[in-house]
Structure 1
Amino acid sequence: MLKRILRIEPPYLAAIIFVIGVNYPGTLSPYSKGGDFHINYFNLLLHFGYLNSFFNQGWLNPVFWTLAIEFQFYLLMGLIYPLINSKKKYIQVLILISLLISTYLIKASGLIFHFLPYFILGIILFYRKTKQWPAVLCTFAELLIITLMWYTFSRVEFFATIFTWLILLFLKSSKKDLFTWLGKISYSFYLIHVPVGGKIINFSVNFIESSGFRIAVIFFALFTSLFLSYIFYRLIELPAINLSHLIIKKNKSNLNG
């Protein structure tokens, strides 16, 4: 849990500052579509505990809500990891079935339970990759989860999940290919692509009406987001990763010493 906090939190906090910094000058433009810039300090405070959804408060960045779900996932894994990592397959199966049942029994908004099938599919993939489960059992479980997801989530959510799962299932990448590079900056891209790419696209609609040029703007927004994500990764995320490794290594040395 400590490693996760040290790894994820500094870029997240930096992204909050980044979003505020981008939104403020954006509202000064005569082409701004929004209202005057102001900070809701209660809303801002809720971001630090991922609590916005529980108080019906919006997020500074609309993608931040998924971090709240991820944070709950880490808390949940901290509680049930001994069962997930059990050497007895029937315990692993029972805990996954229990998690799956909770998806349909617990309907509270803002909690992780609705999204557990995504994580269960990932856990099964982990079992497959680490050969903890035989291929037949993995395939049966994956088909079951995929079928349930078809009836549970929207088509966009379903196909996005399956596309990602298939990439992780079949892709064998080297240490220096494009996918590895994209994977490295993916968290930074996730944090800033909306305030960067979204601002570029929204600003462009004031001047561009041609569909061809609008497509070009989308690509420009994408590559600009990737470029700035790489800078964000190098300046903020990578130092946070190195710091987390250093602290964890030091703690292990102290325990062993």
Structure 2
Amino acid sequence: MFWFIAFAIFFNQLVWMDIDFKALLIHLTFLQHLFPGQYFKYDYLHVSWTLTIELVWYFVAFLCAARFKRNPAGITLLFMVFSYVWIFWGSSYFPSQATMEPGLKYFFVNNNVINQLPFFFFGAYIAVKNPRFDKAGLACIFLVTVVLSSAWKVHFPDPIFITGFGIAALFLILKDMEYTNKKYVVFLSEISYSFYLIHFPVITIVSEKIENDALVVIVSIAATLGFSYLSYRWIEQPFMRMAKRKSENSMLKGKAADSIA
């Protein structure tokens, strides 16, 4: 929220006389990816659409938690099937999809929350079951679904979760690797979300000031790392500590109530 407002003000998107309050409300409630007509009015983060995916995932995960714990593989498979049904049939009912150009149609229809959910459920399956995967098999998944994706995407519709599985396979390979200096890995993991959120506007600003492409890359990475650390240190951590305190207080109150009863 902080970076959304900060960059919107910086790039003169939030000018009082020109504010589209409906579009702004949609963005502030993280529903922007569900409303193509309002999405681009306040989109300088460029990745804010993923907040819609996260919001829906938390809601769906809450509804499916009990059943998923009993049958994680079945629930994951169910949402994979649902995703493919959407690609072949349901997407034709998406509002205004008939008038969208191919790039926008992919972004709002193929890349929407329905096609993202299997990826989330796959992650939840790993968290619940903690399965052991063969590294060679994971490497093959990454090779086929990501590196060689252009060879098979032309033959049938591509739900985004297929590529997501490949990226997940790569992460699973990296997760079990031995690192000589883990503190740098921990540092990058801690600031990764902020890095993801702000990298695009930082690149845009740097590109406007510097003409040399190599220098743009170097300065953009350095600036994004710096801002990401500040964001993690002064925005994320305080809110995480506050949430932890509230959670601990709730648990203490619950225990106190149980002891009285």
TM-score between the two structures when normalised by the length of structure 1: 0.70
Task: Give the Cα–Cα distance (whole angstroms) in 2 for the partners of residues 161 and 96 of structure 1.
Answer: 15
State the AA in 2 paired with 1:14: F
Aligned equivalent of 1:194, options 187, 194, 200:
200
Deviation at 1:111, TM superposition (A): 4.5
Distance 1:218 1:234, change over 3 A: same
Larger deviation: 96-105 or 116-125?
116-125
Q: Within 2, Cα distance between the matches of 1:253 and 1:225? A: 40
Classify 1:172/1:248 alpha carbon distance in 2 versus 1 (closer, same or farther; 3 Å).
farther
How far apart, in 2, do the equivalents of 1:23 and 1:189 lie?
19
Q: Is the alpha carbon distance of 1:181 and 1:174 closer, same or farther for their aligned partners in structure 2, counting shifts above 3 Å? A: farther
Give the match for residue 83 of structure 1.
67
Show the counterpart of 2:243. Answer: 244
Q: Give the CA RMSD over aligned residues.
A: 3.5
Tell me: CA distance 1:18–1:112, structure 2 relative to 1, closer, same or farther (3 Å): same
Residues 102 and 140 of structure 1: CA distance in aligned 2, closer, same or farther (over 3 Å): farther
Structure 1 residues 80-109: Cα deviation after superposition (integer angstroms, max 9, x where no partner):
1112222xxxx2222122111111123353
1:184 matched residue in structure 2: 190
Structure 2 equivalent of residue 74 of structure 1:
58
Is 1:47 equivalent to 2:27 in the alignment? yes
**What SS does structure 2 have at the residue aligned with 1:62?**
coil
Whether the aligned pair in 1 keeps the contact of 2:31 and 2:52 (CA below 8 Å) is yes
How far off its partner does 1:69 sit?
Answer: 0.4
Taking structure 2 as the reference length, the TM-score comes to 0.69
- Which letter does structure 1 place at the counterpart of 2:34? F
Contact 1:200–1:221 (8 Å) recurs in 2: yes
Matched-pair contact (CA < 8 Å) for 1:124–1:142: no
Answer yes or no: is the 8 Å Cα contact 1:173–1:180 preserved in 2: no
* Residues 72 and 111, structure 1, Cα contact 8 Å, conserved in 2: no
Partner of 1:214: 213
Indicate whether 1:167 and 2:174 are aligned: yes
Greater RCO, 1 or 2 (C-alpha within 8 Å, sep 6+): 1
The answer as to whether partners of 2:73 and 2:125 remain within 8 angstroms in 1 is: no
* Separation (CA, whole Å) in 1 of partners of 2:64 and 2:143: 23
Identity among equivalent pairs (%) = 20
> 3-state DSSP class of the match of 1:20?
helix
Distance in structure 1 (CA, Å) of the matches to 2:82 and 2:140: 19
Instruction: Report if the CA contact (8 A) 2:142-2:167 is conserved.
Output: no
Question: Which of residues 11, 16, 21 in structure 2 aligns to 1:23?
Answer: 11
In 2, Cα distance between equivalents of 1:69 and 1:242: 25
Distance 1:70 1:222 in 2: 25
Distance 2:68 2:143 in 1: 20
Once the two structures are superposed, residues 18-74 of structure 1 have per-residue CA deviations (whole angstroms, 9 ceiling, x without a partner) of 1123213xx9xxxxxxxxx95433221111222223222224221000111011111
Task: Give yes or no for contact 2:139–2:170 (8 Å, CA) kept in 1.
Answer: no
Instruction: List aligned pairs for 1:6-155, cutoff 5 A.
Output: 13-24=1-12, 38-56=18-36, 57-58=38-39, 59-60=42-43, 61-86=45-70, 91-106=71-86, 107=91, 109=109, 111-127=112-128, 129=130, 131=131, 151=153, 152=158
- Flag the 1:145–1:102 CA change in 2: closer, same or farther, 3 A: farther
In structure 1, the residue corresponding to 2:11 is in which secondary structure? helix
Residue aligned with 1:177, SS: helix
Q: Which runs of 5+ in 1 are unaligned?
A: 1-12, 28-36
* Partners of 2:194 and 2:228 within 8 A in 1: yes
